[in-house]
Structures are given as C-alpha cells and as structure tokens.
Structure 1
C-alpha cells in the first residue's frame, strides 16, 4: 500500500513538473533562469538595470562611457552581467601581472579608457527591437551599433530529459568570425573560424524605451 502511494506521488510530481514547464514556456518566454520577471516595465532600460544589483558594475561602465541616452533610445540591448565584467577584469589583471612581472598590480574599472568602454558596450546594442517573435531556428544576421555581424536565433534543447516533447527553445547570440558558420557545423571546422556563441539567460523585457535581454553569467565580456 505504501509502495503504491509512493509511486502515485512520484507520478503526480512528474506530471505537475511537465505542466509547470509547459506553462512556463508558453507564458514566460522571456524567462530562462534566476527569478521570474515580468516582461513589461514602466522603467527605462537604464533605470531597470540600475534597480537590479546584478548590473551595478555595468551601470558604472555605462556612465563612464556617457551612454545613458543611447541605452534609453529605441534599441535592443543584450546586457552582460557584473559577473562577466568582473571576470574580464580578472583576466586583464593576470595578463598585466605577467607582462610587468608584478603580482600586486591590478586592472580595474579605472584602467579602462572611456572610448574603449563605449565601443565595447555599443557592441551589445542593436537599432530597433529584436524580440523572440522575430526569431526562428534559422540563422539570422543582425548588425550591432559598431557594425559587427551577429547571428541571433532560437535553438531547441532537450534540457528536461524528454518531459517536454517539443523541447525548449532558447535564444542564442553568436559573434560571427570570418563569415557565418555552416549549420550543422562539421567536426573538423577550424577552431579559429568558429563563431563565439552565448545563451541569453533572460529575454524579452520590454522597457519604457526599448528591449532588454540578459546574457548568461558565463559570457566573456566583449567576447574576449
């Protein structure tokens, strides 16, 4: 009797999980990880970022580069998180320490020059609104505000072990290196020519001024 109850309970949880995942995919397409986020906000893109501690360092860079008005224009901004920026500073610090043979030297936000910060951040911006409804499983090229080409599209994954028969479709963005990669990618395709791909962990936030997506914490700032 107890064994039967356990099996029924487990089955119920599996069914409930499937229902919840299906509902999440249908109703909250902008959400991938972290906490639930409403897809519309009355805040500007800049104010939305400033209100979230995940972007404290990013806001400092936006201010340093004088890009507040640009961030609040009619653009799509694929925001890197503070984790990405801090990892970038850590890598730069290691390079500088090796170059100067000094383990005490640090590469900080103050070490970054405003023109470099401006170009780096504008590489995450696209004119107009890029939303999930504009994307498909096919490769699509978009040009950012510094003239670089990116492939932005949906990719199907089976992250939930087959619970969802249709799989889950996430938005990926790839910096194109020496031309768009063939799809599917051959195993022997040159490593140096492979596009640099990242997952968007939160997508489709419609702000008062534009569209905001958030790159995964594992993203290397400016694809370095």
Structure 2
C-alpha cells in the first residue's frame, strides 16, 4: 500500500512539474539573432565602450579625426586600447635603451603619426564580411583575398578565412582578416595578419569590425611605429 501511495504522489508531482512550474517557457527564452545595427555613429559606439576603446578614442582625438568617425561613411577595423598600449610599451623600450625620456601620455606623440597609423585601419565606404573575398593564408595563390586602399592611401589586404569543420576544408566558420603588406614588390610575402574578433557591427555611418587584441600592436610593425614617432619628434611630458 505504501508503495502504491508513493507511486501516486510521484505521478502527481511529475504532472504538476510538466504543466506548471517546470514548463520550458519559464526558464528558457529564445532571444534569436542579435541585432547588428547600432543607433549611433562609429565614434559614439567607441565612446560607449571605454573598457575596450578609451585609449583609441584619445588617439582619434589627438589625430584630429573625430569628424571622420562621426560623419563620414567608412569601414573601420577597430584595434582595442591594449594594442595601443603594446605599441607604446615597445616604443618606450626603444627610448629607454637609447637613454631617452619615455612616453607617459599619448599626446606626446605627434598628431600626424597617430593619423597616418590610424588611417591604415580605415576604408572609405561600407564593407561587410559578405563583401570581401576568401583568403587562405597557407594558399595565397589560390585564395589571396583582395587589396584595398586604406583611408591614408596605403594598400592593405582584406580577406575572409574559411575554417575547416569535421575534417572538411572550407566549410567551417568564417573569419575576417586585415593584413598589413610590408613589401609591395612581394605583396604575398610576410603579410602581418590580424583576425577580426567581432564583425559587421553597423552604426549609422558605416561598418565596424573589432580586431582580436591578442598579439596585435598598433601600427602592425613595431619598428615602423617607433621610427615614425621618433622621427616626428616626441614632446616632453607636460608640454
């Protein structure tokens, strides 16, 4: 009898769970696809995320390019602030080794240096992942991506890398890559590839792709950034 009573109670509890509190809709909400659109300019988007882009926003301001990011239609490959910090760290190591004062503020580096370097990450017009051809970094002759002229007039390479899945080539997820070309006489040699972490964010004045910050130094090549900064002259702190 006790066994039958126990079974009856268990059945009742199971029914209550199925038809009331344990209903899937009580704990599961399907949010669907996230909206890629942002109701604001690229500059407003960057300002809204200081944890990622506070130093980048300062660089844009020092470079005098606020209007580019607020008013012009552009595609921007946004480097995180940590990429800028890495470039400054490398610059300071060079200055220190040569017995020179180090940089403590971004404003000590001349605006033209920031502008020229920043322009390598900007392209006029709107380019989403679907608009860019395939790149295979191990087979550039077959899938080279495509050369695009950056805002500052330097040729850069853009491509979408097709990852493999379950042993099948090119059927996995797709990742956008921005590549710096060190030598234009050999445009497929020595590319500095920087993958995109988040693509196709769409503010009101263009498209934003956020670069993966691991390993990337602002300006792609530390030696080029160091040479440009020193050649232009570095202001003393407090000037």
**What TM-score comes out, normalization by structure 1 length?**
0.72
Of residues 91, 107, 114, the one that matches 1:117 is 114
Give ranges in structure 2 of 5+ residues lacking alignment. 1-31, 135-142, 222-239
Of residues 181, 195, 199, the one that matches 1:203 is 199
Give ranges in structure 1 of 5+ residues lacking alignment. 1-26, 29-36, 183-192
**Structure showing greater Rg:** 2
Of residues 130, 142, 158, the one that matches 2:148 is 142
- Are 1:45 and 2:42 matched, yes or no? yes
The corresponding residue for 2:227 is none
- Are 1:178 and 2:176 matched, yes or no? no
Deviations 1:91-120 (A, max 9, x none): 111111001177xx4453132111111111
The corresponding residue for 2:80 is 81
CA distance in 2, matches of 1:130, 1:100: 45
Conserved? CA contact 1:74–1:127, under 8 Å: yes
What RMSD over aligned residues (CA atoms) do the two structures have, in Å? 2.3
- Are 1:108 and 2:108 matched, yes or no? no
- Are 1:194 and 2:194 matched, yes or no? no
Q: Which runs of 4+ in 1 moved over 3 A?
A: 105-108, 160-165, 179-182
Which structure exhibits the higher relative contact order, with contacts defined as CA atoms closer than 8 Å and separated by 6 or more residues?
Answer: 1
Conserved? CA contact 1:175–1:195, under 8 Å: yes
2:93 partner SS: helix
CA distance in 1, matches of 2:209, 2:77: 5
Deviations 1:73-101 (A, max 9, x none): 10111111001000111111111100117
Conserved? CA contact 1:150–1:173, under 8 Å: yes
**What TM-score comes out, normalization by structure 2 length?**
0.68
